[in-house]
Amino acid sequence: MIKTKISNTFVRAHEICPDKGCYLFDPIVDANKIACPECGASRQSKSVVKMVNIGDHVSSMLACDEFRGEVEQYREVIDARTDQDPYTDFFSGSSYQELRSRGLFSGKHDIAIVLCVDGFTSHVSNESMVMIHVIISRIDPSIRYTDDNTFQIAILFGDTKTNFESYLRLIIQSLNRLSSQPIIVKRNGFHIATSKVYNLGVIADGVEIN
């Protein structure tokens, strides 16, 4: 699944290694670093990569009546399942039941996402790129992979493989926050949804993640 457009809304800039792009600086942990820890290149505030903020994007999706309706409807489907039903996806399985018993997914609009990391090479420039996108898994499988229900958070260029963990770090941190601090969605001052976001995992294709 390759998309070429990244939504301009909700985009945040993150500082990266200015030479090869081999490291993404954490604004807190790396506040005092003056050079890339991988290649030694001097840090420059202009070298940035842009990433979509997942919480902001999910909020905008939940503000849409149609999407919220899909979340509510699939929740009913999941809740009605019994042990005798065939396995259709993660929400049929025992891992999900265990998470449920621990109090996860208790909110009506709580959702689950999967982070997808695709490595590919541009036919035009031979440059290697990595694309990260989000699949919302807590909606019906028939619409789960459509353009409206998935979104891209970044396209990365350069030597990101050297320390890909540094690129994933901020994303994972934001997902950890979203699983404990719910998103509150309001429209015209009225509350319409409260949602925690749970990350079910990272699917990586063609990228070595250390």
Q: For Zn ion, which is the closer residue by CB, 30 or 38?
A: 38
Task: Measure the CA–CA gap between 198 and 148, rounded to whole angstroms.
Answer: 19
Q: Establish if 132 lies at the interface with Zn ion (CB under 5 A).
A: no
Name the burial class of residue 150, with classes exposed (0-12), middle (13-18) and buried (19+) by CB atoms within 10 angstroms of its CB: middle
Q: Establish if 118 lies at the interface with Zn ion (CB under 5 A).
A: no
Q: Establish if 22 lies at the interface with Zn ion (CB under 5 A).
A: yes
Task: Measure the CA–CA gap between 172 and 193, rounded to whole angstroms.
Answer: 23
**Residue carrying structure tokens 């809740």:** 79
Backbone angles phi, psi at 2, to 5 degrees: -120, 125
Whole-number minimum distance, CB 39 to Zn ion, in Å? 3
Q: For Zn ion, which is the closer residue by CB, 38 or 89?
A: 38
Whole-number minimum distance, CB 22 to Zn ion, in Å? 4
- E-strand ranges in the chain read 11-15, 48-52, 111-121, 128-136, 150-157, 183-187, 190-195, 197-205
Q: Establish if 39 lies at the interface with Zn ion (CB under 5 A).
A: yes
Residue from 24, 36, 71, 116 in contact with Zn ion (CB under 5 A): 36
Residue from 6, 17, 175, 193 in contact with Zn ion (CB under 5 A): 17
Q: Establish if 38 lies at the interface with Zn ion (CB under 5 A).
A: yes
Q: Which of residues 41-70 bind Zn ion (CB under 5 A)?
A: 41
Contact between residue 133 and residue 151 where contact means Cβ atoms under 8 Å apart: yes
Whole-number minimum distance, CB 19 to Zn ion, in Å? 5
Binding site for Zn ion (CB under 5 A): 17, 20, 22, 36, 38-39, 41
